Structure 1
């Protein structure tokens, strides 16, 4: 009879080994208030990950490609992701939102455009982020608002599949969001004194 799976023993055994993960993904993972065992995992440079992905097959290679694709929202998203944190939000939350937005854009941006997703579908939120209205949340705001960390694992014209660390799948369905604004508009630094 097989013994029961012990997650703490698994984490302890794996924490000493380097993990093949991109630096952008690792920063996001580390910033998401993970246990100390996860934060202690050393990062491996992205070039190494791309070489491993080449062996894994074409779909993995595309996921980790170093090619830069110009996306319609790059002129807004990239400057905003490097901007200072507004005073109305905690810095760790702002970092999580900006890191997740950049990660989703890099990994799923081109596919989202091909599937007909708009910038509001991906990066929409309520215009006053202090007052959370989930009916205005796009994909990124929905991911950050969940209690369990998830990753986008599939994207179609109507939905995105979100998978947690246990393999449970949740679905985010596209819907009209007439009152939503872009994250970079809602989380912009207020003008004036």
Structure 2
């Protein structure tokens, strides 16, 4: 099954297998804590990503499995992935934010673009990201802010379905809030309190 296929999954078998599915991690997790959800698919990939994070966007893209893209957000996302961590964000959260942005673009970016989703829907955030109110979060910022691992299971014209490790699916819908910024602008060099 490819990452673009939608299929219900058995959470119990996901927890007891060495799945390679793409999914998010808890925001507050340290690198050592990532083993708690490694069976759900991301732990080893994310640790590999963290090890080469300082090596530049080409190495990060290779670890994440990203191919060269022509989507409108390709160039700013590549620069964002290579940018140094702002001082106002802890390293684990920064790595998670960059990881999720790359994964969303790599696995779902083209399908989302084809269905009418734009860079604000996927990569939007509050213009002052240290103000964690979530009111202007796009998909990536939302995924990183959640306390439980989730995976994207479907992208449709009106919603993106997120499946938490337990519980019912969640639906993300385009909101286009006033004053929304993009990750690569809000987290750029010189931003911060």
Question: TM-score normalized by structure 1?
Answer: 0.68
Q: Does 1:125 align with 2:125?
A: yes
Post-superposition shift, 1:81? 1.1
Provide the residue aligned with 1:189 in structure 2.
189
Greater than 6 Å deviation, 4+ residue runs: none
Provide the residue aligned with 2:87 in structure 1.
87
CA distance in 1, matches of 2:165, 2:38: 16
The count of aligned residue pairs is 155
Q: Which runs of 5+ in 1 are unaligned?
A: 1-6, 45-64
Q: 1:131 to 1:99 in 2, by over 3 A?
A: same
Residue by residue over 1:138-186, the C-alpha shift from the partner in whole angstroms, topping out at 9 and shown as x without a partner, is 1111111111111111111111100012363011111122210100100
CA distance in 1, matches of 2:162, 2:108: 12
CA distance in 1, matches of 2:70, 2:28: 27
- Determine which structure has more spread, i.e. the larger CA radius of gyration: 1
Q: 1:173 to 1:66 in 2, by over 3 A?
A: closer
Q: Which runs of 5+ in 2 are unaligned?
A: 1-11, 46-64
CA distance in 1, matches of 2:66, 2:183: 26
CA RMSD of aligned residues (A): 3.1
Post-superposition shift, 1:69? 3.8
1:36-75 matches, cutoff 5 A: 36-39=35-38, 68-75=68-75
Provide the residue aligned with 2:7 in structure 1.
none
CA distance in 1, matches of 2:189, 2:67: 31
Q: With CA pairs under 8 Å and 6+ residues apart, which has the higher RCO, 1 or 2?
A: 2
Question: TM-score normalized by structure 2?
Answer: 0.68
